[in-house]
Amino acid sequence: MDFADKLRASGLRPTKQRLRICKTLFDRDKTFHFLVKDLVETLNEKTEDQKISVATVYNTVHAFKKSGYLKQLNIDPNHNYFDTNISHHHHFFDESTKELIDLNNDQVEKIEIKKTLPGKTISSVEILVKVENK
Amino acid sequence: MDFADKLRASGLRPTKQRLRICKTLFDRDKTFHFLVKDLVETLNEKTEDQKISVATVYNTVHAFKKSGYLKQLNIDPNHNYFDTNISHHHHFFDESTKELIDLNNDQVEKIEIKKTLPGKTISSVEILVKVENK
DNA sequence: CTTTCTTTTTAGAATGATTATAAACTATAT
DNA sequence: ATATAGTTTATAATCATTCTAAAAAGAAAG
Ligand SMILES: [Mn+2]
Ligand SMILES: [Mn+2]
Ligand SMILES: [Zn+2]
Ligand SMILES: [Zn+2]
């Protein structure tokens, strides 16, 4: 699916600002974990391009979150990370470097939760593994 | 350990404001998961008592976090929860009621992580189980 | 094309949680 | 008592995020 289709599927027209945001987010080999602040900086560091406003970046990121092309993570109470890897997966958080690393579902033994809550059903199980230098 | 000792162990003198904060936090049967905003409200809802300022509440909560009498959680990117249960444990987050429920370590089968990161050592593994109405 | 209507972008204002500041207050020590 | 140190508080500052409303761009109609 190309960028324009992703945008349309999120209810947004493919404008040049939004396409530049898509390129930064999705034109990558690996998962991209990012903070909105850093994304805005990256988008606006090349002085030859026209600046994209923070409002546009937030609007686009939230539309992608809503449509499922981005996930919002709970890693650090003081930083709001987004993730381009929308498959069900887990994370390592390197406390030394503040780096996030994907941990795929199949790299973790099935998690058996012995406690159940009456009237409730599990919608997701996510693991956060904090690591530091050995 | 009584409240005054907890405060002293956190580098704080047992003043009447701090002791009232302790009572609200620690004088309970069950784990207390809270937001600072709600804690401030609770402390100040009885009109007969003198109001405690937000600065004092934040200072005290952070001192307890630093000394290990409170844990800060990563549950919801938009809300900053603290937890009086400082043992190693996991959480259910009820997306219907926004309620947090403890999931003890012994209620989860040992988590086997097959992926390792060179030069890194695991410092913690935490599970977040999201649930909703059946 | 022009005009008209709709959507988008943007700068800057507003918001809300948290942190910082500095003056007033309280407790302790001499 | 006086001096000193620690504490509380109101309020200001900060920072991420959201809101607003005006300008710009794009699509549709004539
Ligand atoms: Mn959070
Ligand atoms: Mn967060
Ligand atoms: Zn990821
Ligand atoms: Zn807990």
| Contact check, Cβ <8 Å, B123/A114 | no
pTM of the model: 0.92
Question: Distance in angstroms, CA of B106 to C1' of D20?
Answer: 52
Confidence class for position B134, pLDDT limits 50, 70, 90: confident
B96-108: per-residue pLDDT in tens? 888 999 999 999 9
Count: domains in chain B? 1
- DSSP assignment of A8-39 equals HHTT----HHHHHHHHHHHS-SS--EEEHHHH
Overall average pLDDT of the A105-128 stretch: 95
Range of the domain at A82: 3-131
Residue B61: its pLDDT value, please? 98
Rounded to the nearest angstrom, the distance between the alpha carbon of A12 and the centre of ligand 1 is: 28
Q: Is the pLDDT assigned to residue B79 strictly greater than 90?
A: yes
Helix, strand, coil share (%) of chain B residues, nearest 5 = 35, 30, 40
Say yes or no: Cβ of B128 under 7 A from any atom of strand D: no
Residue B72 contacts residue B80 (beta carbons within 8 Å):
yes
CATH code at position B115:
1.10.10.10
Alpha helices per DSSP H over A71-120: none
B21-71: per-residue pLDDT in tens? 999 999 999 999 999 999 999 999 987 778 999 999 999 999 999 999 999
